[in-house]
Amino acid sequence: MKFETKAIHVGQAPEPATGAINVPIFQTSTYVQKSPGTHKGYEYSRTGNPTRTALEECLASLEEGKYGLAFASGMAAISTVLNLLKTGDQVVSCDDLYGGTYRIFEKVYRDYGLDFVYVEPTNPATFEKAITKKTRMVWLETPTNPLLKIVDLKAVAKIARKHKLISVMDNTFATPYFQKPLTMGIDIVVHSTTKFLGGHSDVIGGAIVTSNKKYYERMKFCQNAVGGVPGPMDCFLVLRGLKTLSVRMKEHEKNAKKIALFLQKHPKVKKVLYPGLKNHPQHKLAAKQMDGFGAIISFVLKSNLAGAKRFLSKLKLFALAESLGGVESLAEHPAIMTHASLPKNVRDSLGISDSFVRISVGIENVDDLIEDLKSGLAVV
C-alpha cells in the first residue's frame, strides 16, 4: 500500500458490529472479562484501548515501522524514550532543538543522573567526537527547531550503530510524508501528533514508532506503568488528521516555498532559513533524504525586539501563537515563546536573537498570506 492509502485504511477497517466506516471512539475505562484473566484483548484503558490501537497501527505503517505507541503529548513520548536510560547514562544531542526537549533534558532528567551533551549537528563527525563510555543515546531533529539545520541521518545512524547507541529522531517538522528516519537506520522516531499529524490545532498528542522489539517492549511497559496515554477522543482526532496528511503537506509546502522566496527578496528581512531554498547550507542533503521541505520558515528581521513585536502584532492571518502544523498559519517569537526555556547565552550562541521569527505556513491562499506578511513588514 502507498502512503495515502495507509493513512486512510491501516488499523481502520469498518467496525464489524455496525459497519461504521470510522473507528469508533471507545469511551470506556474498563472492559468486562468472561472469567478472571479471560478477556477480548483489552482489560483497562490505560493499558490499551481499541481507538488507540488503530492510531498506533496507522502511525507505525506511515513511518514504515513495526510498532507504534501513542501518548497524551509529545513530551510524554519523549519522556518515555528517555526511560530506556539509567542513571549515569549520557545523551549526545543536536544543539538546536525544541525548547521543551531542552527543558526536560536539563530541568528534569539531569536531576535523575542523566548527562546531556550538545553538538553542532550538520557535521556527523561532531556526534562521534562527543561519544564517551557513558554515551547510550543520540538525539536528533532534522530540520532542527527553530534554525532548520539538516542532519545527515544515514551517517549519524551508522555512527550510532558502530558504538551500539540508541538513535532517536524527532520527525515532527518533516512528518513521515516527507521523511522516514527508520528507513535510514534510525532506531526510534518520536512525534508531537499535536502538529502536522493532527493538523487542525484541536488536539494534544505524541507518538513513538520503532522496529526494535526490545525497545518497544520496554517503552510499552513504561507507557502503561507511567500512564501518559491519550484518551480515545484524542486518538480519533489524530486518526482523522492522518487521513488528509498527504493532501495537506503538499499545500503546506507549496505555500512555504513561495513565501520563503518572497521573504528572501524583501529589504527588511536579513536572512531566511528554509531547506527548500537553494542557498540553504544543507539544501542538497535535504533534497537527498527528504521528499519535500516542509512548512516551517525561520527568518531574521533587520530590526530589534521592538520591531519584531510590531511585526508580529500587525499580522492578521498569521496568528501569534505557539505550536505549528495546523491548517491555519501561525507566527511566533522563539526567544520569548517556544524557546524561552533556553538560557539567553545558549540562544545567543545559536543565533536565536530578538529579531528572529518562526512561522508555520498554513494552507490558506498564498497570495493572502503574502499580503499579510507585507503589512507586518511595513511596520518594522
By annotation, the residues acting in catalysis are: 46, 98, 170, 195
DSSP per-residue string spanning 205-244: -EEEEES-HHHHHHHHHHHHHH--PPPHHHHHHHHHHHHT
Task: Please check whether residue 68 is in contact with residue 253, taking contact to mean a CB–CB distance below 8 angstroms.
Answer: no
Angstrom CA distances, 61 to 4, 71, 121, 233, 278, stand at: 11, 17, 28, 21, 32
CB neighbours of residue 126 within 10 Å:
16
Q: b/e map of 163-182 (b: 16 or more CB within 10 Å)?
A: eebbbbbbbbbbbbbbbbbb
Integer-rounded Cα Rg, in Å, for the chain is 21
- CB count within 10 Å of CB 1 equals 10
Q: In what order do the strands lie in the sheet with 206-210?
A: 67-71, 206-210, 188-192, 166-170, 135-141, 90-94, 115-119
**Residue ranges in the chain assigned as alpha helix (H):** 3-9, 50-62, 74-82, 99-107, 125-130, 153-162, 175-178, 213-226, 232-243, 245-265, 283-289, 305-314, 344-350, 366-377
The whole-angstrom separation of Cα 19 and Cα 77 is 33
